[in-house]
Amino acid sequence: MADVAEKAGVSRALVSIIFRNQAGASRETRERVLRVADEIGYRPDSAARLLARGRSRTLGVMFTVQQTFHTDLITGIYPEAERLGYDVLLSGATHGRSEAKAVEALLSHRCEAVILLGPDAEPDYLAELGQRTVAVSISRRVPQAHVDFVHSAEGKGVRQAMDHLVELGHRRIVHIDGGRGPGSAERRRAYRAAMRRHGLQTQARVIPGEHTEESGVETGRLLLAERDDGRPLPTAVLAGNDRCAMGLLMSLTRAGVEVPRDLSVVGYDDSHLSHLMPLGLTTVRQDAFLMAEHAVRFAVERLENGELPPREAVLDPKLVVRGTSGPVPAEDHRVPS
């Protein structure tokens, strides 16, 4: 014990010499300190050294705890940040913790830039944030803000999904709106445009919702109640995102509706949970890793050159067909007896 204490004392007394003023220590002293530090498991505080030079080399990431797609984005952010020599600090927004509070926590921890995953904050706040620090938004575009933006081509993804359903014979296709969720407005517009393009505008129907499982469950209950009142189920539903689609699937299957025999369901995101279900979800894939890489590079490049104008990266989505979409059901499957 005395030997350990002596070594610890030596390291405390000399660590500052070797790690803060290496030029002032002899080679013998440096080697002794390094040897003792290794024996007691000491590691230099690289964060403190960076802060002493006015840099933290840390990227802050604001995410929403309940959003599974944000987990996929975070998984892609880490390796790209590490490749460029940056650490990552996470701060989550929940029902009881606002996005603004999550962001301010990151800034208080000296993050040099913030990456916002699907932010729902007011445009004025994002514009003000872009003036205070380097900021990148994934999936949410704020044209007036000095913020870089990374998203997928929402309209192209919806068109792929709608063409797929129409080719399968579907005509009564309902869309569950994502409310204020990122990409919702673009997806809603693309759905209506696709219905018009296929000559189905009179059957277009947008059901208000959110990017949550609860929204999908509530939509399922609504459609089932309408069926019980004599109205046929739609033949297909395009959900605002995968979480909403999964809630819809739960609601329908509990009521005995077979997917896709009775009704087809398509999601959006291709989050990691979409292909872990017993019946894989047909969905529009956003490349989370590529989106994450662009966001990290945008942040780092702006840290190196603050005069860069706001930039936008638009990535191509891709429809992934799995088990929840199939041919339009026979009439006796759609209309209750």
> Per residue in 305-334, pLDDT tens?
988 999 999 999 999 999 999 999 876 444
| Helix H or strand E encompassing 27 | helix 27-39
The top-scoring range by mean pLDDT among 133-147, 211-225, 266-280 is 211-225
Q: How many residues in total does the chain contain?
A: 337
Is the pLDDT higher at 184 or at 33? 184
Percentage of the chain lying above the pLDDT 70 cut: 82
DSSP for residue 171: -
Instruction: Identify the pLDDT of residue 54.
Output: 58
Tens of pLDDT, residue by residue over 258-289, are 999 999 999 999 998 888 777 899 999 999 99
In whole angstroms, give the CA distance from residue 178 to residue 175.
9
Residue 5 has pLDDT above 70, yes or no: no
Q: Please state the rounded mean pLDDT for residues 72-79.
A: 96
Question: How would residue 43 be classed by pLDDT, with cut points 50, 70 and 90?
Answer: low
What was the pLDDT predicted at 36?
A: 63
Q: How far apart are CA 145 and CA 132, in angstroms?
A: 11
CB 73 within 8 A of CB 138: yes
Helix (H, G, I), strand (E, B) or coil at 8: helix
The two beta strands, 282-285 and 318-320, are: antiparallel
Q: Which amino acid is at 81?
A: A
Across residues 12-37, what is the average pLDDT?
55
> Phi and psi dihedrals of 314, rounded to 5?
-115, 115
Given a cut of 60, whether residue 21 has pLDDT beyond it is: no
pLDDT digits (tens, 9 = 90+) for 47-67: 454 444 457 899 999 999 989
